[in-house]
């Protein structure tokens, strides 16, 4: 069978794609681990522009996919397992749904705290460099392993659904087996595809965006924070960079920067006890009042209200926040 023409090397405009996956705010929900079936929770296209709070192990049983992780792009049409770190910039195009074909398999999401609470999983993923090495992020599976991994995912779903201590113990055992089977599989290497110039520029932007926000704190505030700053760093004219993002993703450069600052603000408000002044300074605001106005304008609530919504206060403390 002839290999299809990879017309999807261009990024499809995300504003025209309703099937973004999954249609739920998994980053903000209170959970440690989740499992999904690709037949139920599938996606046509996906390009997360910012850091996620979870690790992802994706098992593709049947389907046809264009997948990009960092600067590497793969055409996948055979059973494959992918290990995705929270900081990876990934884009995804599901050709199966476009062509009316099958899209089967499973994926599992788990947060950093789950690794810390279950050190055996962390030891295994570190041993096999599952999330640490680009060469081990994408593993094409050998035929004997495919059915084994599919069965293990089904068993994990069943064990997790029991919501008991014994069920969790069984789940951990199945997860360990699945990681070992997937990491050790030695199927043929996947062929990398050539990226278009536009795609390379957009990938470089998202990588730079992630790099700048990954180490934000009040001692090392954002170094690059404006559209002009990002364009200069990428040696591109800001109008050109903005036009690329608008044409291929449907969002402007400034909207990505605003969204990223809001996302990081929410993380710092909920996961640290820093004063608002320190959070604002870390994110490039000269004073607290500017940060507070920005947060209220973009989210519809004050920074104090957002922080308080994630904390249980006594009635006296709560009155002081209003």
All domains of the chain in start order, with CATH: 10-184 (2.60.120.280), 197-315 (1.10.10.60)
* Least confident segment among 71-80, 150-159, 261-270: 71-80
| Beta-ladder partners of 58 | 82, 107
Higher pLDDT, 81 or 193: 81
- Residue 59 has a CB neighbour count (10 Å cut-off) of 22
**pLDDT, tens only, 90-120:** 777 777 765 677 889 999 999 888 888 898 9
Q: Is the pLDDT of residue 53 over 60?
A: yes
C-alpha–C-alpha distance, residues 9 and 193, integer Å = 8
**C-alpha–C-alpha distance, residues 141 and 61, integer Å:** 9
Is 70 exceeded by the pLDDT of residue 172?
Answer: yes
Laid out side by side, the sheet with 45-46 consists of 45-46, 90-94, 65-69, 72-76
Residue with the two structure tokens 């000269």: 286
What is the pLDDT confidence band of residue 151, given thresholds at 50, 70 and 90?
very high
Backbone angles phi, psi at 145, to 5 degrees: -85, -25
What's the mean pLDDT in 293-307?
94
> Cβ distance 65 to 37 under 8 Å?
no
The residue-averaged pLDDT of 172-188 equals 88
Report how far residue 259's alpha carbon sits from residue 95's, in angstroms, rounded to the nearest whole number.
28
Strands (E), 1-113: 33-37, 45-46, 54-62, 65-69, 72-76, 80-84, 90-94, 104-111
HSE of 41, CA atoms in CB hemisphere, 13 A: 15
CA distance 33 to 57: 11
Two structure tokens written together for 117:
């609470």
Decide: 83 and 136 in contact? Cβ < 8 Å. Answer: yes
pLDDT at 47: 52
Q: What is the pLDDT of residues 272-283, one digit of tens each?
A: 889 999 999 999
Tell me the pTM: 0.59
pLDDT score, position 200 = 76
| Residues paired with 218 in a beta bridge | none
């Amino acid at each position: 069978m002839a290999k299809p023409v990879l017309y999807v090397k261009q990024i499809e405009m995300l504003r025209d794609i309703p099937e973004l996956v999954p249609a739920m705010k998994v980053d903000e929900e209170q959970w440690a681990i989740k499992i999904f079936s690709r037949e139920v929770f599938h996606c046509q296209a996906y390009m997360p522009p910012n850091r996620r709070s979870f690790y992802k192990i994706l098992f593709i049983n049947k389907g046809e996919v264009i997948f990009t992780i960092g600067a590497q792009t793969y055409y996948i049409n055979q059973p494959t397992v992918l290990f995705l770190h929270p900081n990876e910039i990934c884009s995804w195009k599901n050709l199966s749904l476009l062509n009316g074909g099958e899209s089967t398999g499973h994926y599992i999401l788990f947060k950093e705290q789950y690794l810390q609470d279950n050190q055996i999983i962390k030891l295994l993923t570190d041993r096999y460099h599952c999330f640490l090495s680009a060469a081990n992020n994408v593993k094409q599976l050998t035929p004997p392993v495919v059915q084994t991994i599919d069965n293990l995912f089904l068993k994990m779903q069943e064990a997790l659904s029991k919501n008991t201590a014994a069920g969790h113990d069984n789940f951990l055992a199945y997860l360990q087996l699945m990681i070992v089977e997937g990491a050790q599989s030695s199927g043929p290497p996947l062929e990398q595809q050539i990226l278009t110039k536009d795609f390379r520029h957009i990938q470089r932007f998202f990588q730079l965006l992630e790099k700048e926000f990954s180490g934000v704190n009040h001692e090392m505030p954002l170094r690059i924070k404006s559209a002009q700053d990002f364009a200069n760093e990428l040696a591109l004219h800001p109008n050109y960079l903005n036009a690329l993002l608008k044409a291929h993703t449907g969002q402007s450069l400034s909207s990505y920067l605003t969204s990223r600052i809001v996302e990081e603000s929410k993380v710092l408000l909920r996961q640290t006890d820093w004063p608002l002044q320190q959070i604002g300074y870390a994110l490039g605001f000269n004073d607290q009042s500017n940060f507070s106005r920005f947060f209220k304008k973009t989210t519809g609530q004050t920074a104090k209200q957002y922080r308080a919504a994630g904390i249980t206060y006594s009635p006296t403390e709560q009155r002081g926040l209003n």
